[in-house]
Chain A
Amino acid sequence: MSSSISNSAITAVHQVDEHRDDGASKLGMWLFLFTELILFGGLFLVYSIYRLMNPEAFAAGSSHLDVSIGAINTIVLITSSATVAISITAIQLKRKKLAINLLLVTILAAAIFMVNKYFEWGHKFELGLFPGGDAFNVLEGGEKLFYVLYYFMTGLHGLHVIIGAALIGWVAWEVKVGKQTHDNFAFLENAGLYWHLVDLIWIFLFPLMYLIA
């Protein structure tokens, strides 16, 4: 008897769960993005203070970064942001196949971004420009700080690229199996928001790291 009552109560809870509120999940996603913005904001704060204290050293450090790799990665990320945005248009217009393909292009772009990053970091490591490396150890304090921040900020950003790509992969699968449809695509929208955030942070990282020399 008691189990039948509890089962009915479970169904009731399920009905509550299934009472969809896309507005709530979108608001929740935005609030989460705010925490991400402030998280990176803290790093930008540290960056700006140390740059204020060591302007020449930061310019010198920046001049050793490869602007073309940075610019290519910027283009890659902007393009991937566009493909996610267009995939939402596609799903709204019930063009499922196109939506999936655009999401796959996004993941490809994330991979290109990370490969570029790998070569960029790898090159620095060969030169000994990493904490503890020979070339790093002879730098003066300000330039050390620049490199540490460079690794920390682009590293944390890269982590977000990986998480974002995984999310996009998951949502692409959901589109494929029909869990995301033209009138029910909150997860796609939220994963897209997360991906745009990754782009947004790079939009600031790129000039602050590469273009201040």
Chain B
Amino acid sequence: MTENNSTASHISYLEETGGRSGIFKWILSTDHKRIGLLYLYSIATFFIVGAALGVMMRLELMNPGQQFVKPSTYNSLFTLHGVIMIFLFIIPGIPAVFGNFMLPILIGAKDVAFPRVNLLSWYLYVIGAIFALSTLVFGNGPADTGWTFYAPYSVNTETNVSMSVMAAFVLGFSSILTGLNFIVTIHRMRAPGMTWFKMPLFAWSLYATAWIQLLATPVIGITLLMIFAERLLGVGLFDPSLGGDPILYQHMFWIYSHPAVYVMVLPAMGVISEVVSTFSQRKIYGYKAIAYSSLAIAFIGYFVWGHHMFTSGMSGPARIIFSILTFLVAIPSAVKVFNWIATLYGGSINVKAPLLYALGFIFLFMIGGLTGLILGALATDVHLHDTVFVVGHFHYVMFGGTGFAFMAAIHYWFPKMYGINYNMKRATSAFWTIFFGFNVMYFPMMVVGVMGMPRRYFDYLPEFHIPNFISTIGSWILSVGLLMMIGNLIAAFRKRKKAVDNPWNGKTLEWSVNTPPTLLNFDEIPTITKGPYEYHEQ
């Protein structure tokens, strides 16, 4: 074993084919790093598809009146955009790509606990994706219900809802297996000396996320199975004409889907903690507070789903309780923001692309979070419910938050993952284009939402024209920025400028291993004696 290591140690995982060739060295490999990259390529593909659908929607909304799609097509557009972005991009996003790639390295392990289950979960992801996209071809067109599949419309519509819910079901299974794997990995595979409070905060956030994936996802699984059965067998579980209660569907849906937004954002917060600490060369401020706040968000996240249903006919006391609980969840989120800012304060800040994206996250997530409180307050929500304001809020949290963290993560770990550098100047200008385009696109949505424009319509009243026009222009700027970013990363493979082992002077374990890492990550499993962010204070 030791002599194997001495020869194999400098063979990177990318050169290590496991005796397989071509595509098989990817789709049959149980190496967590290759699986992470498999996820990266598939998720990036669907992100581009989803973004293209979003640009089409913006084009339709550029001017009042029908532009170039039929109303029913528009309904399918926003449903497919939602399903793809939620289930295929943002839920698996950071955990499946960077969690898979980095978690074992961060805690000093050779792989995840169940490597074959890990590969299985990628296959399930692909099957789910095929299901979701097959609705474009099979049946009466893609679902037109919105990604929420609200009953009874989802039961009655002619479009191919059955296939879409099965897609979400399979993808949920994939997500569960990833979460299960991470929990066991963190419990059983930490290196000697890697105590819970010596774990990097990204690992903490993945741990909290994994518990949500594990305990919330089955609820959507069973709910979607009921919708499926209802469509297939005509059994009225949520159909009022057969005795069912559609509001119960909304409860079941949001029992999962609200915690799910923390599946989306918690790993993002973990990434930001890593990036902020490394690029200010300072020990993270309030390590334990950030670690505990991840668990607190995960836990409180189970208590607040009702704030999606304030106008649906829920009982008065329930609405008040859900509103109060919603405010509670803002506390641990704010704890994190304060801690990041305190970490930056007095640090030797190195303004590079990963930090820019992280700062973009903090700024945009704050706008998203605070508009979330406006929606969480019962009285204002009654006015704003189902307006474009909600769409603006959601994109500030999910794209401005998780999306920016995803981009921070790719710029942060890219040199380690591939052993090459990207062009920093272009990465920076891509960031500013994205940041500018993002705000031009989504801020007008908040304005026009307060003015009263409802969401999910292909047309609108003339007085909403100007904000919508600006927003569409923003979508073009944003698209250009995204293409610049992607192009810059792809160009890195042509230039192949070799990266050093530790380009940002990071202190967590991934920076101590080879670039790119070897198959087993470590020549010898390290013994951990220090915390994850031990910088010498200047």
Consensus secondary structure, chain B interface: helix
Asked if B16 is at the interface of the complex by the 8 Å CB criterion, the answer is: yes
Quick check: which of B213-221, B464-472, B475-483 contacts chain A, the rest being far away?
B213-221
- CB within 8 Å of A: which B103-135 residues: 110-111, 113-115, 117
Give the residue of B184, B214, B237, B519 whose beta carbon is less than 8 angstroms from that of A24: B184
Contacts of A25 in B (CB 8 A): 114
CB distance from B366 to the nearest CB of A (A): 33
Contacts of B244 in A (CB 8 A): 50, 141, 145
Are A36 and B519 in touch, CB under 8 angstroms?
no
Asked if B500 is at the interface of the complex by the 8 Å CB criterion, the answer is: no
Give the residue of A8, A11, A28, A45 whose beta carbon is less than 8 angstroms from that of B180: A28
CB distance from A36 to the nearest CB of B (A): 7
Interface size class of A (residues with CB under 8 A): 35 or more
A27-67 CB contact bits vs B (8 Å, 1 = yes)?
A: 11001101110111111011001100110000000000000
Given contacts A12-B520, A141-B242, contact A152 B18 (CB under 8 A): no
Are B18 and A42 in touch, CB under 8 angstroms?
no
Give the residue of A21, A43, A148 whose beta carbon is less than 8 angstroms from that of B235: A148
Given contacts A21-B113, A28-B114, A28-B184, contact A5 B7 (CB under 8 A): yes
Are B221 and A24 in touch, CB under 8 angstroms?
no
Are A9 and B215 in touch, CB under 8 angstroms?
no
B206-231 CB contact bits vs A (8 Å, 1 = yes)?
A: 00000000111111011101100100
Are A148 and B236 in touch, CB under 8 angstroms?
yes
Asked if B451 is at the interface of the complex by the 8 Å CB criterion, the answer is: no
Are B17 and A50 in touch, CB under 8 angstroms?
no
Given contacts A9-B16, A27-B187, A131-B233, contact A15 B221 (CB under 8 A): no
Residue count of chain B within 8 Å CB distance of chain A: 51
Bound CA span A3–B7, Å: 12
Are A142 and B188 in touch, CB under 8 angstroms?
no
Asked if B19 is at the interface of the complex by the 8 Å CB criterion, the answer is: yes
Are A39 and B218 in touch, CB under 8 angstroms?
yes
Are B245 and A53 in touch, CB under 8 angstroms?
yes
Partner-A contacts on B (CB < 8 A): 1, 4-5, 7-8, 11, 16-19, 30, 110-111, 113-115, 117, 176, 180-181, 183-184, 187-189, 214-219, 221-223, 225-226, 229, 233-237, 242-245, 248, 252, 255, 519-520
Partner-B contacts on A (CB < 8 A): 3, 5-13, 15-17, 21, 23-25, 27-28, 31-32, 34-36, 38-43, 45-46, 49-50, 53-54, 131-132, 140-142, 144-145, 148-149, 151-152, 156
